[in-house]
Chains A and B, each alone.
Chain A
Amino acid sequence: MSSLFKNIRSKGNIGGSASTSSANKKEPAVQLTPLEKLLQDAPPLKDDSRNRIFGLENFGSTCYGSSILQCLFYSIPFREQVINFPARSSPEQVIRGENGQLRLVPTVPFPQTPEQLAKAKAQTTTTVTVPTTRPSIKPEDKESQEYKKKQILNKGPLWALRYDNASSYGMKESLYTCMKDLFEAICMNQERTGIIAPYKFYEILRSTIHETWGGSQHQDAHEFLNLLLNSVVDTVEATAKEIEAVQGKEGVATENGTISTAINAVEKQSISKAPPNSRWVHEIFEGTLTSETKCLTCENTSHRDEPFLDLSVDLDAHSSVTACLNRFSQQEMLRERDKFFCDNCGGLQEAEKRMKIKRLPKILALHLKRFRYTEDMQRMYKLFHRITYPEQLRLFNTTADAEDPDRLYDLYAVVVHIGAGPYHGHYVSVIKTPEHGWLLFDDELVEPVDKSFVMKFFGDKSNLACAYVLFYQETTAEAVKEQQLAEGRAAVTKMAKEALPVKDTLPFGLPLSLKTNGFMLHHITSPTPTSPTEDPTSVLPDLTHAITAPHSSSDVHPISPSAHVQTFTSPQSPPDQAQSNKERKLMEKDAAKVEKAAAKEAKAMKKDESVRQKLAMKTAAADARTTMENSKKVESPIGKRDSGTRNIFSTLNNQMVSSAKPLLDQPLLPNGKLSTPPGPNMATVGAPESSIPSSSMNGIPSSTQSALANYPASSSLAANPSASTPSSINPSLTQDYSGSGMSAFSRFRQGSRSLKHRPKFWPGSTSSTVNPPVPAKASNNEHAAEQPVNGSAAENRADDYAVDDSEDGSTGATQHKPAIQNIPRSAVEGPSDNSVHDEKLNKKRTSRFSLRRKGSNMLSFSTGSDR
Chain B
Amino acid sequence: MISGSVLPPPKAYSSAPVTSTNTGNSQILTEAGNSLKHPTGPEFQFHANEGTYVLRDDFQLATPPPHPSEAPTASTNPLSTSIPPLVSGTRLSIIITSDKKAPPVLYNLNTSVPNFSTYSIKEQEESRPSQDTNANSSDVVSQPLSTGSDKKAPAFGSTNVYLNAGNGVKEGAKRKKPKTNMMKTSSSFVSRVVPHEALSRRLNERDPDSMLAFANINRSLQWLDLTSSSYFKSEHLTKILFTKAHMLCHDLNIVTKGSNHLDLVAGSSLADIVWYEPFSVRYNRINKNGMINPSPVIDVKWIPGSENLFLAAHLDGNLIVYDKERDDAVFVPENGLANGFGKIDGDGATMLRINKSINSTNQKTNPVASWKISDQKINSFSFSPDCQHLAVASQDGSLRIIDYLKEKLLDLFRSYYGGLTCVCWSPDGKYVLSGGQDDLITIWSLAERRIVARCPGHTAFVSAVAFDPWRCNQKNYRFGSVGEDGKLLLWDFNYNTLSKPKAVVERLRNSITSSVPLTRHRTDSLQTSRLRSNSSLTTNGTPNSDEVEHPMISRTQTAELPPVMTKTISDDPLCGLSFQEDCIVTSCSVGHVRIWNRPKEGTGEP
Taking Cβ atoms with an 8 Å cutoff, the residues of A that contact B are 34, 139-140, 143-145, 316-320, 322-323, 326, 374, 376-377, 379, 381, 383-386, 388, 390-394, 396, 405-406, 408, 416, 418, 420-421, 428, 440, 442, 447-450, 452-453, 456, 461-465, 477, 481, 484-485, 487-489, 491-492, 495-496, 502-508, 513, 515, 518-528, 552, 554-559, 561, 564, 567-568, 571, 655-664, 668, 767-770, 790, 792, 799, 801-805, 855, 857-861, 863-865, 867
Asked if B8 contacts A515 (CB within 8 A), the reply is: no
Instruction: Please tell me if the beta carbons of A556 and B74 are within 8 angstroms of each other in the complex.
Output: no
Interface residues in chain B, defined as those with a beta carbon under 8 Å from any beta carbon in chain A: 1-10, 12-21, 27, 29-31, 33, 64-86, 188-189, 192, 194, 243-244, 269-270, 289-291, 293-296, 315-317, 329-330, 332-333, 337-339, 341-344, 348-349, 374-377, 395-397, 414, 416-419, 437-439, 456, 458-461, 484-486, 551-552, 554-556, 571-573
Q: Closest CB of chain B to A20's CB: distance in Å?
A: 18
Expressed in whole angstroms, the Cα–Cα distance for A771 and B419 within the complex equals: 44
A322 in contact with B439 (CB, 8 Å): yes
B86 is contacted by which of A428, A520, A554 (Cβ under 8 Å)?
A520
Closest to A520 in B: B83
Look across to chain A and name the residue whose beta carbon is closest to the beta carbon of B557.
A406
A sample of 15 more A-B contacts (CB under 8 A), given A316-B459, A323-B459, A440-B79, is A140-B76, A320-B437, A320-B461, A377-B16, A384-B19, A390-B461, A393-B417, A462-B8, A477-B551, A481-B396, A506-B69, A559-B291, A564-B291, A858-B68, A860-B4
A487-B19 Cα distance, complex, nearest whole Å: 36
Complex interface: chain B residues within 8 A of A508 (CB) = 71
Nearest A residue to B76, CB-CB: A802
Shortest CB distance B469–A (Å): 29
* Most A Cβ at <10 Å: residue of B82, B344, B461: B82
Interface centre among A139, A383, A521, A561 (most CB of B within 10 A): A521
Give the docked Cα–Cα distance between A557 and B69 (Å): 31
Residue of A nearest to B397 (CB): A392
Q: For residue B291, which residues in chain A have a CB less than 8 angstroms away from its CB?
A: 502, 559, 564, 568
10 nearest interchain CB pairs? A488-B375, A660-B4, A555-B342, A323-B459, A390-B418, A140-B74, A864-B31, A860-B1, A555-B338, A461-B8
Bound Cα distance A448, B290 (Å): 27
**Minimum C-beta distance from B60 to chain A (A):** 16
Contacts of B554 in A (CB 8 A): 405-406
Show 9 residue pairs from A and B whose CB-CB distance is below 8 angstroms, ordered by the A residue. A385-B19, A394-B438, A440-B79, A489-B341, A507-B70, A524-B82, A525-B85, A571-B330, A801-B78
Residue of B nearest to A661 (CB): B72
Q: Is the CB of B19 within 8 A of A519?
A: no
Considering the complex, give the chain A residue whose CB is closest to the CB of B337. A555
Q: Let me know if A505 and B70 touch, CB within 8 A.
A: no
B contact residues around A663 at 8 Å (CB): 71-72
Q: Is the CB of A861 within 8 A of B65?
A: yes
Q: Which of A442, A448, A767 is B79 in contact with, Cβ under 8 Å?
A: A442
* Complex Cα–Cα for A481 and B350 (A): 11
The answer on a CB contact under 8 Å between A461 and B79 is no
Which residues of chain B have C-beta atoms less than 8 A from A571's C-beta? 329-330
Residue of B nearest to A392 (CB): B417
Please, which residue of chain B has its CB at the minimum distance from the CB of A526? B71
Q: Is the CB of B348 within 8 A of A488?
A: yes
Across-interface contacts of B376 in A (CB, < 8 A): 484, 487-488, 518-519
Residue from A392, A464, A502, A506 in contact with B418 in the complex, judged by beta carbons closer than 8 Å: A392
Q: Number of contacts between A and B (CB, 8 Å)?
A: 337
Partner of A554, one of B69, B71, B342: B342
A525 lies within 8 A of B71 (CB): yes
Q: Is the CB of A657 within 8 A of B418?
A: no
CA of A294 to CA of B335, assembled, Å: 65
Which residues of chain A come closer than 8 Å to B2, judged between CB atoms? Answer: 658-660, 790, 792, 860
Contacts of A557 in B (CB 8 A): 332-333, 338-339
Which of B3, B418, B573 is A386 in contact with, Cβ under 8 Å?
Answer: B573
A396 / chain B contacts, CB cutoff of 8 Å: 456, 555
Q: Closest CB of chain A to B485's CB: distance in Å?
A: 5
In the complex, chain B residues whose CB is within 8 Å of the CB of A521? 294-296, 315-316
Q: Chain A's nearest CB lies how many Å from the CB of B219?
A: 11
Let me know if B349 and A463 touch, CB within 8 A.
no
Q: Is the CB of B81 within 8 A of A34?
A: yes
With A488-B348, A504-B289 as given contacts, are A803 and B75 in contact (CB-CB < 8 Å)? yes
Q: Quick one: which of A374, A452, A561 contacts B13, CB cutoff 8 A?
A: A374
Q: Do residues B6 and A505 form an inter-chain contact, with CB atoms below 8 A?
A: no
8 Å CB contact of B485 from A323, A504, A561, A801: A323
Name the CB-closest residue of B to A805.
B76
Interchain nearest-CB distance for A392 vs B (Å): 4
Report the minimal beta-carbon distance from B540 to chain A, rounded to whole angstroms: 14
Q: Is the CB of B68 within 8 A of A857?
A: yes
A857 to B337, CA, bound (A): 48
Given contacts A323-B485, A384-B8, contact A390 B81 (CB under 8 A): no
